[in-house]
Each structure stands twice: as C-alpha cells, then as structure tokens.
Amino acid sequence: MPAPVHIEPMRGKLKYNRENNLRKRFNLFFSDRFDLPERDYYSSLNSEGLVALKSMLSGINNILTLKVTLSFSNWLSERFELDDSVRAELERSVLMAKPNSNGYDIWLGYPVAFVGEVKCNIPINNGLVYGSAQRAGIEKDVIGLLNGKLKASINPEKCLKFLAFLDLPQIRSANEHLQSVSEICKRNLVIVGTGMKLNRLDVVYGVYVSINT
C-alpha cells in the first residue's frame, strides 16, 4: 500500500490568486468600456446572472460579423461607385440575413456581380498565427467562394469574390503567415492593395475593413 502523500500547508500571502485576477479584469472591462463607476461588478453577479451574461456573450461573434459586414458593404459601394439605391439595397440585404445562414454574407448581381464572406477570426491567445481550426475555416471559405455553395442564392462562377477581415495588426500578420503555409491560400487568396484592379474571377480578393463607429 503506497504511503499517504503529505501536502504542506500554504503559508504567507498568495503571489497569484485566480479569482482576484478574474475579478480585476471583469470589473475593469465594465468600468473602462462602458464608462461606468468603479465598483465590484464581479461580486454582484449570482449564478443566474453569470449564466445570462454567458448566453448574451455567446452571440458576440454575430455582432462583430454584422458590424464588419456593414463596413465591408460600404467599402464595396465606394469601390464600385454604386448609386444610392443599390447601396441601400445592399445594406438592407445584410441586415435581413439571418446569422449562420448557408449563403454568402454579402452578394450582388447587378450592376456588378460579386459574392463575399466575412471572417472575424482573432488569432488564438492574442498571437500572430491562426490556430488549426481557424486556418481550416478560412480555407473552407476560400473554396466555397471559388466553387459555390449548394444553398447559396447566386453562382459565383462569373462573380468577383471577396473575403473580408477585420483590420487589426495581428490579423494582418496571421494572414501573411497563412499565405506562407497554406497552399490553398497561397494560390487563391490575393490581398487587395492600393490601386489594385479587381478583374480576376479565378481568385478570392482579401480585404481589410475597420468597424464603423
């Protein structure tokens, strides 16, 4: 029979306290981002409050995707000099689309034909490289833009194709790395530069957009 393990009691002040660290970050976020008075919001939440907050935050990616898609819609409207009626219709189609639908995030058939997806991946652990699942998701979007989707409302064969990213330094770095390691992205993803002509139907154009405030 193995000898019992003796656990030495902890003495002195903890150098790191997990709960205190979480409390500090939680309270700072609410007071800083929402300009609220400094107080202990962490301790004000019971289990029901935490579950409700978790449920609300689970949809944060849909909020971010919507904001980036609307900014991307504005970028497309300006780049192709769309008139006011077409701009309004493009924005309306974005707002009417349900989250996680099977079509494209944005598309237009006339006066210029294009399809687009919006990717709001932030490199894992605040790093400069995508995780394997993030990389696979981007590759899947590139393939879907090139080859089409079964339930999409438009065939991309004769459309310009776009993949929009949130314009952050870490995302730009992650995309540079992605294009160096992914054969799919190396061959088919072209990041739009200043003055670049958009006339190829055999590639996906990558675009960086900022969120409109």
What are the boundaries of each domain within the chain?
Answer: 18-57, 60-209
In angstroms, rounded to a whole number, what is the distance separating the alpha carbons of residues 116 and 105? Answer: 6
pLDDT score recorded for residue 17:
85
| Token pair in block for residue 205 | 């154009």
Residue with tokens 């935050």: 57
Give residue 128's pLDDT.
Answer: 92
**Tokens 């902890």 belong to residue:** 10
- Determine the Cα–Cα distance for residues 156 and 133; give it in Å rounded to an integer: 25
Structural contact between residues 115 and 104, judged by C-beta atoms closer than 8 angstroms? yes
- Which residues touch 64 (CB under 8 Å, ≥6 apart)? 120, 166, 211
pTM exceeds cut of 0.85: no
Could you give the strand order of the β-sheet that contains 189-191, starting from the edge strand earlier in sequence? 106-108, 114-119, 160-166, 204-209, 189-191
- The pLDDT score that the predictor gives to residue 28 is 92
Q: What is d(CA 155, CA 147) in angstroms, rounded to the nearest whole number?
A: 9
Question: pLDDT by residue for the chain (213 residues), tens digit each?
Answer: 556 665 555 565 667 788 888 899 989 988 998 888 999 988 988 889 888 888 887 788 888 889 999 999 999 999 999 999 999 999 999 998 876 666 899 999 999 999 999 998 889 877 899 999 999 999 999 999 999 887 777 889 999 999 999 999 999 999 999 999 999 999 999 999 988 999 999 999 999 999 865
Query: What's the CA gap between 43 and 162, in Å, rounded?
Result: 45
Confidence (pLDDT) at 6: 59
pLDDT score of 82? 96
In contact, 119 and 172? CB cutoff 8 Å: no
Q: Radius of gyration (Cα) for the chain, nearest Å?
A: 23
Domain 60-209 has CATH 3.40.50: no
Region of 30 (left: φ > 0; alpha: ψ -120 to 50; beta: rest) is alpha
For residue 97, what are its two tokens? 């689309």
In this prediction, residue 145 carries a pLDDT of 96
Paired residues of 209 in beta bridges: 166
